[in-house]
């Protein structure tokens, strides 16, 4: 049986492998077009192509395709304005972009042989972009008042430094949990799928003998069920990432009048 | 003990963290259902909160899972 972790290997395509290249600032790097790169490019093309297709023949009364695009747009639009409030419209493009890109990569992972979001480097980039944006917006909008985020006015005065310290560390943990949630969910789901598919293969080639007759229907049913679950998880994780981005942005945007 | 065996046992033990995530996610959905049956009209507006809570509880289990995987493949 093939190793279930084999699917996460990043391999460069030979005809696009440029070998060791010396870049001006970064230094010497191994430059190559990999399968991870290809998966992200396909996701990008699919997302841009889909939205172009949806909006090209826009009508007042939407057709089927336009309704799909409008539902996605309306869902994120409603979320930003309900969580961030009045200023939500300003941050909608960022949240919508990150939501659609992660959703595209998650869903394409179910159709292609490679899931870009099951790479720690990819999800860590998303986590750091979101965290960096929250910190920058917090400092630009509030200046030194940004530190009020770690000064819980609801707690008794004696407890405030302690609670503030805990708040500070939980703030620093945000990019890590954002990163690992997406990474762990996608990797875990795909490993489970491969393991159960491996059981089916074991039963079919007869490696388990007559016992295979019992294993096959169980493992096959489990694989089908897990595939359905993975589609749900693919959507849910993109949605959760978008919701958490909104919540973190709301923390710093509405710092003065917390609600 | 054989280091390879100890590593595999350690990876298995690390997965115990998933127990807590299971309890947490089950608790969230159970409480949501209990609340939704008492006041069905308010349930729809809380779906977003439900999934965020489930994701936050699940993230801690995922940390244990990632740790287990790291021990396994290291």
Segments making up each domain of chain A, as ranges: 6-253
Query: Mean pLDDT across the stretch A61-80?
Result: 90
Query: What ipTM goes with this model?
Result: 0.76
**Burial class of residue A36 (count of CB atoms within 10 Å of its CB; 0-12, 13-18, 19+):** buried
Q: Is the pLDDT of residue A115 over 70?
A: yes
Residue B7 lies in a domain: no
Q: Which residues of A touch B66 (CB under 8 A)?
A: 180, 183-184
- Length reported for chain A: 259
Is B51 a domain residue?
Answer: yes
The 10s digit of each residue's pLDDT in A130-172 is 999 999 999 998 888 888 888 888 888 888 888 889 889 889 9
Q: Using pLDDT thresholds of 50, 70 and 90, give the confidence band for residue A259.
A: very low
User: Is B3 inside any structural domain?
Assistant: no
Which residues does chain B have within 8 Å of residue A177's beta carbon, measured at their own beta carbons?
Answer: 59, 63
User: Within a domain: residue B6?
Assistant: no
pLDDT single digits (tens) A205-256 = 877 788 888 888 999 999 999 999 999 999 999 999 999 999 999 988 888 7
Q: Do A236 and B69 touch (CB under 8 A)?
A: no
| Residue for token pair 């089916």 | A200
CB A223 within 8 A of CB A112: no
Mapping DSSP to helix (H, G, I), strand (E, B) and coil, where does residue A14 land? strand
Q: Residue B39 is part of a domain; what is its CATH number?
A: 1.20.20.10
In total, how many domains does chain B have? 1
- The reply to whether B39 falls in a domain is yes
Opening angle at CA A150, ends A146 and A155, nearest 5? 135
**Does a structural domain hold residue B1?**
no
Q: Sign (positive/negative) of CA torsion B48, A79, A168, A127? A: positive
| B49: nearest CA partner in chain A | A243
Q: Is B5 part of any domain?
A: no
Residue B2 lies in a domain: no
A76 and A242 Cβ atoms separated by less than 8 Å: yes
Q: What is the DSSP string of A123-181?
A: HHHHHHHHHHHHHHHHHHHHGGGGGGGGS-TTS-TTTHHHHHHHHHHHHHHHHHHHHHH
């Amino acid at each position: 049986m093939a190793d279930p972790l084999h699917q996460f290997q990043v391999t460069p395509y030979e005809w696009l492998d440029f070998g060791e290249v010396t870049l001006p600032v970064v230094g010497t790097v191994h430059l190559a077009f990999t399968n991870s790169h290809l998966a992200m490019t396909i996701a990008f093309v699919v997302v841009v192509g889909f939205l172009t297709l949806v909006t090209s023949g826009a009508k007042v009364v939407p057709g089927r395709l336009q309704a799909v695009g409008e539902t996605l747009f309306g869902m994120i639009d409603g979320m930003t304005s309900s969580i961030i409030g009045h200023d939500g419209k300003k941050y909608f493009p960022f949240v919508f972009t990150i939501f659609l890109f992660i959703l595209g990569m998650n869903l394409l992972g179910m159709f292609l042989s490679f899931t870009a979001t099951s790479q720690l480097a990819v999800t860590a980039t998303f986590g750091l972009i979101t965290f960096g944006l929250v910190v920058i917006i917090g400092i630009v909008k509030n200046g030194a008042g940004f530190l009020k985020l770690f000064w819980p006015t609801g707690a008794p005065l004696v407890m405030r430094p302690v609670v503030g310290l805990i708040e500070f560390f939980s703030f620093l943990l945000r990019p890590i949990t954002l990163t690992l949630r997406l990474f762990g969910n996608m990797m875990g789901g795909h490993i489970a799928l491969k393991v159960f598919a491996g059981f089916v293969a074991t039963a079919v080639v007869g490696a388990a003998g007559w016992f295979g007759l019992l294993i096959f229907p169980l493992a096959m049913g489990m694989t089908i069920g897990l595939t359905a679950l993975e589609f749900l998880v693919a959507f849910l994780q993109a949605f959760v990432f978008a919701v958490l981005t909104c919540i973190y942005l709301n923390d710093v945007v509405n710092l003065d009048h917390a609600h | 003990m054989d280091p390879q065996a100890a590593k595999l046992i350690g990876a298995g033990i690390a997965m115990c963290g998933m127990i807590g995530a299971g309890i947490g996610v089950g608790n969230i959905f159970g409480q949501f259902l209990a609340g939704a049956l008492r006041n069905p009209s308010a349930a729809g507006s809380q779906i977003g909160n439900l999934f965020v809570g489930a994701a936050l509880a699940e993230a801690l289990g995922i940390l244990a899972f990632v740790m287990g995987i790291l021990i396994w493949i290291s």
